[in-house]
Structure 1
């Protein structure tokens, strides 16, 4: 119809349908169209073409797009030609998942977003919503977070019922990354991206089970305590008062500034430098140099390192995770060597008169 009635050339049709001129020519020949004859447009080619396209049950949006007009202009042309416009009938209702469209709209999505989700135009989405008695300005929905996270199957079920991903997250008590992963595993459309904090939930739970402290877990992973509590809640991990007895020790070493200083001191000592020379070169107290050397020369290297790490401000839980030890072993060492209070220096007697 575009070729015969509207006079569209092969090149114009190729550009319109994003095909080559040869493919357009072959398609026309297959329909019995004489492509060698120059098409002669009708007296009012656009109106005739629109009318014929509309008779093929195409929507007004589609007819206007094919002919290069907006919805309003295409509708006016059709009305001026005396075309009886179709009403929303049962056959058209079956083409659109109206219940899902209504749920998407009530979940807070815009009409345009609802249309994109169902692969229909915004005009069609608007008409279906009005026909279903849905207000175009819905009241904002209020979603309450459950006391415990819902299973992964609830994520998929809510999504299939038409709820927005943000609302699925609130209704299930799960994170955005968890929702996206479950949708991807179920083959549903979802944008999967890694955790913005780069946190592995399994590792986080393993650390917590070894340390029984959200603060220690946060210190080891360099995130906030609130982020740790949120991920523990999402993973269904109960709060612990003591480390889990069946937890396997976790070893997560990390290079910190004082460790680099340790390595430099040991390297200089191996080259034969004295403690005073090392202290002067690194601009640290001689006592610090001697303390590091005691760690690497101690017969029980593990005990010495535990004590040294404690002097550097690390908590027992952090020491256990950094060294890959059980927390009770670290606490035993600290209790054995630090249980006795240091002897304080006696006060000087006041001078006699």
Structure 2
């Protein structure tokens, strides 16, 4: 919302969320946002952005702060646009799911988090819990950011004492990237769980060791190459000139659109439909349908699939990870049956490769 409607730049969003611009960019790409190098502000008036943010249940004060206005100015803009403002607090007779509120608080959630989950204020949540006779759990401590950033050794000491990453960030005044870098230099595991992008660092490092390419690793995980490099640095992984020979094949599956189409074609063929009927249903040639059926009936299915994936535009590293093969095996197959090293387009199969594949089938 802030990037597309309010026209916030990556740097401004990074400052707002206390993250790096690379992390913000990767998060936007993961949401399917077309990230432009020079984002342009929305042509809509600022009142449109305010309405959208207010519809997301943000307070007027928060909406004004995000758009660069005071509370009073933001309230006037919303009223001028005819927005029905929510009441400041829920009435005393508001229906609150007290049993669920009690259950959430017993699970370890703070009062504020419980209230946010049920759409009520902190005060209302606290009062209902007390009325239900619920012993209130102590609230998490509030950490104050120091006036000047603390040293790197302090970051490591706090980590060893068991402090969480966000608490270390508040106590030291350092960014998340700085903390991760210092922990990696100290030989400590910087990320023990998937990060905000849902990427497990251990899997990322394993993929990189199999292919020795940050570009291929980014392509496999559908994130930016800069995000891959940042996580490799945080994990203390050295840059490789060749795949690690001690790392076995790794398989990370992801269904491509053509695989779904193949499955439907094979299902129709199994039901007894003729190739011409299947071709008409999918609006492709009969030869295309026949090639797909032959692909999955081929004796050397692995070689046939490698050649087909290459024809669909996948790089050798991506093929190796998707099929769970060693990179050198994939390259050997391509060297034997592909005479043109140039990468083919995503929807075309080079005529020479077609002849080589048919020749291989005839030979087998």
If the length of structure 1 is used for normalisation, what is the TM-score?
A: 0.48
Of structures 1 and 2, the larger Rg is shown by 1
Structure number with the bigger relative contact order (C-alpha 8 A, sep ≥ 6) is 2
